[in-house]
Amino acid sequence: MSPTPTDLNIPLKSIPSKTPTQQTISSPSFSYIHLSTSTHQNLDNLLLRSYLTSAPRQFLGNTGIAILIDILSCTSSQAWIRVPRQDLGAFAGAITSFSGQQPLSLQIKACSDFLGSLIGKGGKDDDEWDVWKL
């Protein structure tokens, strides 16, 4: 049996306990949107970027051009994007009402202020897990 610190007359240091803290994120800066195609056309980054810039431009004019859009992930049939939280409503209206030259239509499957709440609902076999393969 090995000796303990008290057997060796080594003073034990008291470690100050850390009090648990609580932090609430009341207004995140960005909102996340899960898009899917309603047509059989395959998505790629270039086609998606073109669609995501044309729709707000047509729907909102110069205000739509100014919306910051980040493509987080793009697969052949769905995409995850990030927009500023205050622009979510205008952006969603622009995307759902846009009919461009391409035979492509995007649907908003879900949107949230937190990315983690959008994915993983279908299990690991679902394509939604592809967003983590950045």
Question: 43-98, pLDDT tens digit by residue?
Answer: 889 989 999 999 999 999 988 889 999 999 998 888 999 999 999 999 999 998 88
Half-sphere exposure at residue 76, Cβ-oriented, CA atoms within 13 angstroms: 3
Least confident range of 37-41, 54-58, 119-123: 119-123
Topology of the domain covering 30-113: Alpha-Beta Plaits (3.30.70)
Determine contact, residues 56/48, Cβ cutoff 8 Å.
no
Q: pTM (2 decimals)?
A: 0.71
Please list, in sequence order, all residues whose beta carbon lies within 8 angstroms of the beta carbon of residue 113, skipping any fewer than 6 positions away: 28, 30, 31, 32, 85
Q: What's phi and psi for 39, nearest 5 deg? A: -115, 175
